[in-house]
Amino acid sequence: MTDTHTTKRPLALLGLGDMGTVLARTWLAADHPLTVWNRTAAKAEALAPEGARVAATPAEAVASAGLIVLCLLDDSTVGSVLEGLDLTGKDVVNLTTGTPAEGRARAAWAAERGARFVDAGIMGTPAMVGAPDGGAYVLYSGSLPLFEEHRATLEVPAAARFVGEDAGHAALYDVALLSAMYGLFGGISHAFALIEGEDVAPKELAPLLSEWLGAMGFFVGSTAERLTSRDFTSGVVSNLAMQVAASGTLLRTAADQGVSPELISPYLDLMRERLEADPAAHGGEDTAGALTLLHRRSR
Ligand code: FVH
């Protein structure tokens, strides 16, 4: 049976932290029958006036519905909260952030207990979830039948994107996106550090920085194409040799401004290493070629 807004089946939500509470409120506002449980009971009881049924224990919450949604601190908390409960015939959706390995292990764990399982990664903050045009979305992977059956319910708080039947893939995409975000935050932080102490207000740099980062967004698609083709040289406009030479300017400016290069030097070092390995072969490449060194380092 496909879930629609006219057949709102009950769901249970375990975990009412900042994110879980917002999720609960969006389902309640959309008139979904909702049972909630939280370790700190006051957070669950606060939702009763909005229509939530409050479960005294995780077992009571799990028994109340076929769809069980988890939004807990981490994977070990999921394991401890669900320990010993009867999950036979349940559909478990895990919105708790974890690693791909944890997602796969939790899927196997759920299957052993007779449950269907989907792991998920929430791409958004609590303020973005449930807000019209808030921009949040949730990555899902694992049981496609579960996802399709409950899609309408899952789309109430935020848009849903199914990324495959490997239960580890939602976490993989999630961590990839978050990792890119922190690289971006690092570069932005370095840029603002450079102007500190100068007669430049952060608000003067900010619009130029936003515009520049937007213009550099092409690197996402071009890198994907180069990794697919393994062609790092065709159509290169700013080659590795030039960029390594220019990186000296970045490092000297950081030194002159009294700013540690620690947030940008790892990528600059990687470019230099790629070039120095074989200047003739790699000097004409796009910088995307440098990332081929990363896997070797982690092994
Ligand atoms: N908040 C955010 O911006 C991000 C957005 C992206 C996704 N993350 C992940 O979502 C999960 C929940 O995040 P949260 O923001 O709700 O986190 P907290 O407010 O810290 O709430 C944690 C809940 O977990 C419960 N909990 C913690 N430890 C235990 C335990 N040992 N046994 C039972 N429950 C536990 C906690 O209960 P309480 O402290 O209220 O009693 C909260 O319900 C998370 O994976 C993020 O990475 C959020």
Atom of ligand 1 at shortest distance to CA of 19? 16
pTM for the full model?
A: 0.92
Atom of ligand 1 at shortest distance to CA of 98? 45
Q: In what order do the strands lie in the sheet with 137-142?
A: 53-54, 34-37, 11-14, 67-70, 91-94, 116-123, 137-142, 159-162
228 lines ligand 1 (CB under 6 A): no
Task: Report the chain's mean pLDDT, rounded to a whole number.
Answer: 95
Q: Helix (H, G, I), strand (E, B), or coil: what is residue 298?
A: helix
Name the residue of 13, 16, 18, 19 to mutate for ligand 1: max ligand atoms within 8 A of Cβ: 19
39 lines ligand 1 (CB under 6 A): yes
Q: Which helix (H) or strand (E) holds 191?
A: helix 169-195
Q: Which pLDDT belongs to residue 9? A: 80
273: tokens are 């290493």
168: tokens are 């580890």
Q: State mean pLDDT over 51-69.
A: 98
Backbone angles phi, psi at 161, to 5 degrees: -130, 115
Q: Which pLDDT belongs to residue 289? A: 95
pLDDT band at 4 (very low <50, low <70, confident <90, very high): very low
**Nearest alpha carbon, ligand 1 atom 30:** 77
180 CA to centre of ligand 1 in angstroms: 23
Atom of ligand 1 at shortest distance to CA of 125? 3
Domains and CATH numbers, the chain: 4-166 (3.40.50.720), 173-298 (1.10.1040.10)
| Cα separation, 80 vs 192, whole angstroms | 43
pLDDT band at 8 (very low <50, low <70, confident <90, very high): confident
Residue pair 103/119 in contact (Cβ under 8 Å)? The answer is yes
16 lines ligand 1 (CB under 6 A): yes
265 CA to centre of ligand 1 in angstroms: 34
42 lines ligand 1 (CB under 6 A): no
Q: Which pLDDT belongs to residue 192? A: 98
Per-residue pLDDT reduced to its tens digit, 77-108: 999 999 999 999 999 999 999 999 999 999 99
Q: State mean pLDDT over 231-254.
A: 97
Q: Which pLDDT belongs to residue 130? A: 83
| Cα separation, 177 vs 250, whole angstroms | 26
